[in-house]
Amino acid sequence: MKASKGDIYMGVVGIVVLVIVVVLAVIVIGIYNQLVALRQNVKQGVADIDAQLRQRHDLVPNLVNTVKGYASHEQETLDAVISARNKAATGAIDSNDEAGLRVALDRLMALGEAYPDLKASANFQELQRELSDVEDKLAAARRALNAAVSRYNTGVESFPAVVFAGMLGFTHADFHRLDDSEKGVVDQVPNVQF
């Protein structure tokens, strides 16, 4: 039996449609996988900041207790540090709380200049070095998060991903993610006693 021109035409059209559907599916799968990888990088950046904030918050009680032994009459500064630390760790989470903690820690470190014995204390020096290291790592983690967010947002907005991103559940990430990154820190408030 001989195929008619209409049958051949329909067969060719069917194959072309099938090829187009397969190519489109491969493109959508590729876009989805790329966006998932970019989103995971953002989540990793948030987790890295969380880890650094935990370490920072864990160092504060040790610093306060070390300084307390040398500068017991500096109660106002010590109280301010603990208050800022607790607010950053338990209050309405806000990047301003972390900034307040940073200012309070700077004041605490300045006490080292006023108390030569404290400044010479090996414990104080080690805690100061650790805090400086944590601050450097925190800044690096924030830069890495911002880069990951930028790559993710670029991926979501780039063609052809922009056509499918919304349908696949991908939305823009926020550059100001400190509030999200601090959620894990909220659970762990160490007991600081004067």
In this prediction, residue 183 carries a pLDDT of 46
Interaxial angle between packed helices 75-90 and 5-70, expressed in degrees from 0 to 180 and rounded to the nearest 10? 160
CA 133 to chain centre: 17
pTM of the model: 0.63
List Cα–Cα distances, 5 to 1, 9, 11, in angstroms: 13, 6, 10
Residue with tokens 């500096």: 74
In this prediction, residue 70 carries a pLDDT of 64
In this prediction, residue 179 carries a pLDDT of 45
Q: What percent of the chain has pLDDT over 70?
A: 73
In terms of Cβ atoms closer than 10 Å to its own Cβ (0-12, 13-18, 19+), residue 54 is middle
What residues of the chain score a pLDDT lower than 50? 91-93, 179-194
In this prediction, residue 69 carries a pLDDT of 67
In this prediction, residue 60 carries a pLDDT of 77
